[in-house]
């Protein structure tokens, strides 16, 4: 009996040690608490206050608050009724023509008592991955049940939503978050979780996140869980991106005319197993912020863009990346001659 009670105690303590991800733990429950995109958030706040939600398309890069905003809006509009008056379908769910014709239609027909000016809400997350047929089937349903049901579609690319649905919806655009906005929310989480850190560690997290709040919080939690201390080295170990200092040295070597040294640095990164896409993306961001002549910066960015296009077409070899460095060196020599 004693053994079983001690076993249950140890299992309960083990369960307590498992934390929910910080992305979920600190997800805002009110529209006003959503970070960044002030214009979009203020529009949604007016809807949350006055009711009468229109059909919406929320579009923008991942991790900018689209799903969070629409869930918070649904929670504010419907309160206690949100469980039975909200249908959420994600890309991981089956969302073919049959689901639109049956599940969504059945939900739209369902009688739910709501306060005046409030409607049932169908949330279709990652709507740009719905098939064209399913989107076509949605057109008529949106019109027939507009008195009782409103639709909110979240997507990364609004152009993948068919025109007839776009014309039935109000478009709300989300953009990448600024470094300052991400830093503000990171500091709140760091204080709440008592995370030890240095300023360079936070800079590294913001650099790797590139305007994606979800990525920033996940990187912070992963670094804290793995190393219990957030510094630059630990962050780049966890995120496994090419270290910006190595890439910066490559750019400096090119500007100083040391082509062989730049190639040696590139080969070292390539041999560590980083994909050409990772290397060239980091290279682009370093060039964008590097202190060099405006003409050189523009030419460097142009050549990097062409190389990235070729890599996306499938030509991701070391030769291609070395060719890019050669092009950059040629641009620098031309500028020097002029």
Q: Identify whether 164 is part of a domain.
A: yes
Output the pLDDT for position 75.
92
Task: Report pLDDT for 335.
Answer: 83
User: Does residue 256 share a domain with residue 201?
Assistant: no
- Whether residue 221 is found in the same domain as residue 313: no
What is the model's pLDDT at position 100? Answer: 84
Query: What pLDDT does 4 receive?
Result: 43
Q: Are residues 163 and 251 located together in one domain of the fold?
A: no
Would 267 be classed as within a structural domain? yes
Element (H, E) at 48: helix 38-50
Do residue 313 and residue 229 come from a single domain? no
Domain that holds residue 310: 244-337
What is the structure's pLDDT at 80?
Answer: 86
Q: Which long-range contacts (CB under 8 A, 24 or more apart) does 74-83 make?
A: 74/121, 74/123, 74/152, 75/29, 75/30, 76/30, 76/31, 76/48, 77/47, 77/48, 77/51, 77/53, 77/118, 77/121, 78/114, 78/118, 78/121, 81/112, 81/113, 81/114, 81/118
Question: What is the pLDDT at residue 12?
Answer: 41
Provide the CATH number for the domain around residue 218.
Answer: 1.10.8.60
Q: Are residues 220 and 254 in the same domain?
A: no
In a shared domain, residues 280 and 230:
no
Domain final position from 173, 203, 228: 173
- Looking at the domain assignment, is residue 17 inside a domain? no
Domain assignment present for residue 9? The answer is no
**139 found inside a domain:** yes
CATH number of the domain enclosing 52: 3.40.50.300
Into how many domains does the chain fold? 3
Tell me the C-alpha distance between 215 and 64, whole Å: 10
Ordered mean pLDDT values, 10 residues apiece, the chain (338 residues): 42 52 92 92 91 92 93 90 89 81 89 87 91 88 90 93 93 94 94 94 92 94 93 88 90 93 93 90 92 92 94 88 93 83
Same domain, residue pair 110 and 67: yes
In a domain, 100, yes or no: yes
Structural domain contains residue 15: no
Can you give the pLDDT at residue 169?
A: 93
Q: Which of 122, 142, 173 is the last residue of a domain?
A: 173
145 lies in the same domain as 199: no
Residue 259 resides in a domain: yes
Asked whether residue 263 falls in the same domain as residue 202, the answer is no
Residues 36 and 120 in one domain: yes
220 and 255 assigned to the same domain = no
* One domain for residues 200 and 250: no
Domain CATH for 275: 1.20.272.10
């Amino acid at each position: 009996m004693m053994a079983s009670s001690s076993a249950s105690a140890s299992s309960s303590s083990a369960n307590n040690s498992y934390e929910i991800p910080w992305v979920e733990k600190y997800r805002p429950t009110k529209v006003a608490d959503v970070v960044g995109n002030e214009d979009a958030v203020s529009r949604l706040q007016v809807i949350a206050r006055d009711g009468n939600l229109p059909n919406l398309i929320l579009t923008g890069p991942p991790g900018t608050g689209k799903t969070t905003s629409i869930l918070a809006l649904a929670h504010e509009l419907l309160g206690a009724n949100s469980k039975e008056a909200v249908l959420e379908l994600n890309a991981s769910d089956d969302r073919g023509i049959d689901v639109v014709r049956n599940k969504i239609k059945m939900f739209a027909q369902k009688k739910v008592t709501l306060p005046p000016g409030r409607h049932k809400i169908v949330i279709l997350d990652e709507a740009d991955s719905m098939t064209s047929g399913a989107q076509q089937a949605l057109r008529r349903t949106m019109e027939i049940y507009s008195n009782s049901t409103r639709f909110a579609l979240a997507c990364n690319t609004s152009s993948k939503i068919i025109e007839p649905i776009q014309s039935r919806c109000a478009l709300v655009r989300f953009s990448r978050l600024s470094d300052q906005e991400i830093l503000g929310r990171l500091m709140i989480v760091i204080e709440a979780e008592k995370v030890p850190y240095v300023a360079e560690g936070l800079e590294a997290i913001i650099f790797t996140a590139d305007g994606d709040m979800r990525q920033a919080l996940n990187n912070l939690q992963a670094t804290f869980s793995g190393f219990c201390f957030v510094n630059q080295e630990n962050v780049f170990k966890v995120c496994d991106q090419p270290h910006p200092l190595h890439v910066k040295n490559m750019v400096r070597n090119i500007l100083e005319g040391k082509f062989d040294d730049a190639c040696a640095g590139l080969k070292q990164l390539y041999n560590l197993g980083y994909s050409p896409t990772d290397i060239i993306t980091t290279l682009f961001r370093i060039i964008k912020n590097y202190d060099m002549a405006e003409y050189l910066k523009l030419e460097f960015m142009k050549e990097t863009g062409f190389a990235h296009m070729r890599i996306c077409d499938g030509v991701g070899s070391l030769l291609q990346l070395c060719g890019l460095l050669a092009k950059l060196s040629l641009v620098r020599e031309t500028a020097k001659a002029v």
